[in-house]
Amino acid sequence: MLIDSHCHLDFLKEKEIEKAKQSGVAGFVIPGIKGYSHIANKLSEKYEGVFFAVGVHPLFINEAPKTALQTIYEVASENPNCIAIGEIGLDFFVKDADRELQKAFFKNQLEIAKKTKKPVIIHLRKGYKEFLDITEKFRDLTYIMHMFSGKHDFAKALLKRFESVYFSFGAPVIRSNAKKSVEVLKNIPKNTILVETDSPDLPPEGFKSPNVPSNLPYIAEKLAEKFNMDREKFFDLTFENTKEAFKCSFQG
């Protein structure tokens, strides 16, 4: 059994949930993009194993409602199916994005995570130094590094800095040319590894778009090979790690 720690089910056809369950995916986390998603909440009520997060993605700040931060705080405080704040962070890969605005939103949402005692799902592309500066005051949160693409030294810095940090991997790491991440994979503690699809984005090499959560067993199997681990053992390991990261049983 697997948990897709990051899938945008609110951007996919609903039938993909059943399809994924039949393929062995028992749990799903739907991250927020523009704060709170009504569709994500509805899906979490309707399907066992489906949970969601609330958060403003660094590249969608201008599209989020003005009240987004207040709503994030309220939903995270009150809704038991909301299990994290995310996806939040910095995206300095996109050159014309407003970096100061990103930093301010990131900080505000870390504050909310602290107040509501929720883990954070991190979207980070470049901006590693700024990430370390901002999180300096938030060392005791649980960090889930979505589609981690940093180098080994950065992974080491995070492990040293935070009491609790997880690294989530998906299709980019199993690409034939993914050398850098493989180095990271071999050197992080096994109890920090999660798996994800980030569907509908990032389908595995040779798979058609959109990516879907039922591709996760394929991705996880290839990842298990990278770790030199038995398929079932690797699946069980990431299942337990994900439950621990989100403090969620993924039932009911």
CB of 8 to Zn ion, least distance (A): 6
Distance from C-alpha of 52 to C-alpha of 32, rounded to nearest angstrom:
7
Of residues 60 and 227, the one with the C-beta less far from Zn ion? 60
Q: Distance from first CA to last CA of the chain, Å, rounded?
A: 16
Of 9, 26, 8, nearest in space to 242 by CA: 26
How many residues bind to Zn ion according to rule CB under 5 A? 1
Query: Dihedral sign, CA of 196, 6, 193, 1?
Result: negative
Largest CA distance in the chain: 48
CB of 46 to Zn ion, least distance (A): 21
Task: Transcribe 77-121 into DSSP letters.
Answer: HH-TTEEEEEEEEEE-SSTTS-HHHHHHHHHHHHHHHHHHT--EE
Torsion-angle region of 173 (φ positive above 0: left; ψ -120 to 50: alpha; else: beta): alpha
Of residues 116 and 211, the one with the C-beta less far from Zn ion? 211
Q: Under rule CB under 5 A, which residues in 11-70 are in contact with Zn ion?
A: none
Question: Which amino acid is it at 234?
Answer: F
Contact pattern for Zn ion over residues 191 through 230, marking x by CB under 5 A? -------x--------------------------------
Distance from C-alpha of 88 to C-alpha of 122, rounded to nearest angstrom:
5
Distance from C-alpha of 42 to C-alpha of 119, rounded to nearest angstrom:
21
Distance from C-alpha of 160 to C-alpha of 174, rounded to nearest angstrom:
26
Q: Under rule CB under 5 A, which residues in 144-163 are in contact with Zn ion?
A: none
Of residues 91 and 157, the one with the C-beta less far from Zn ion? 91
Of residues 152 and 201, the one with the C-beta less far from Zn ion? 201
Of residues 175 and 190, the one with the C-beta less far from Zn ion? 175
CB of 186 to Zn ion, least distance (A): 25
Of residues 4 and 198, the one with the C-beta less far from Zn ion? 198
CB of 53 to Zn ion, least distance (A): 10
CB of 131 to Zn ion, least distance (A): 17
CB of 233 to Zn ion, least distance (A): 27
Q: Write out the residues near Zn ion by the rule CB under 5 A.
A: 198
